[in-house]
Amino acid sequence: MSATRPGGPAQSATADRETVISRVIDAPPELVFEAFTEVRHLSRWWGPDGFTTTTQSFEFRVGGEWDFVMHGPDGTDYTEWISWTEITPPERIALLHGESRHDPNAFESVLTFAPDGAATRIEMRTVFPTKQLRDEAVEKYHAIEGGRQTLSNLAAYVTELVQKRVED
């Protein structure tokens, strides 16, 4: 994947270590951002198809952490950890994501929430420590497809929220 930047190099310095997934969600940025930042919402949509999430602890603030377990459809549990490194409501979240606080293979993700008419374009840009870790995430763990499914689950959940608010 490469990133083209106006007036800059054709490929970013991290292009061989990153994945970029985006989706347009038919809801305002504030609501999409809220669904990403409140544990009561996250547990309803987080993860690829067939996964569920159990939160151990959650503190949404810069330096705060989210400790959780993702339960795979085959019964496998995946211990996960996220630390929030930047929060700019309702536009941007940056985070560090690994298996635990001291995971040397933790990766960085930046999520942006941009208005797209009445909808929101969410982009998830993830940079891995090495090209090999990126390739392993893509090939072994199907990170791109899993990310697409996760954003699809988010879109379905937020659409449900919008419908409930209209009905109330």
Task: For residue range 24-48, list pLDDT tens digits in order.
Answer: 999 999 999 999 999 999 999 999 9
Buried b / exposed e along 120-131 (16+ C-beta atoms within 10 A): bbbebbbbbeee
- Per-residue confidence band for 10, with pLDDT thresholds at 50, 70 and 90: low
How far, in Å, CA of 158 to CA of 160, rounded?
5
- Per-residue confidence band for 157, with pLDDT thresholds at 50, 70 and 90: very high
Q: How far is CA 105 from CA 28, 44, 101, 102, in A?
A: 34, 27, 10, 9
- Per-residue confidence band for 107, with pLDDT thresholds at 50, 70 and 90: very high
Helix (H, G, I), strand (E, B) or coil at 112: strand
Phi, psi dihedral angles at 100 (to 5 degrees) = -160, 175
| Residue 91 Ramachandran class (φ > 0 left, ψ -120 to 50 alpha, else beta) | alpha
Please check whether residue 126 is in contact with residue 135, taking contact to mean a CB–CB distance below 8 angstroms.
no
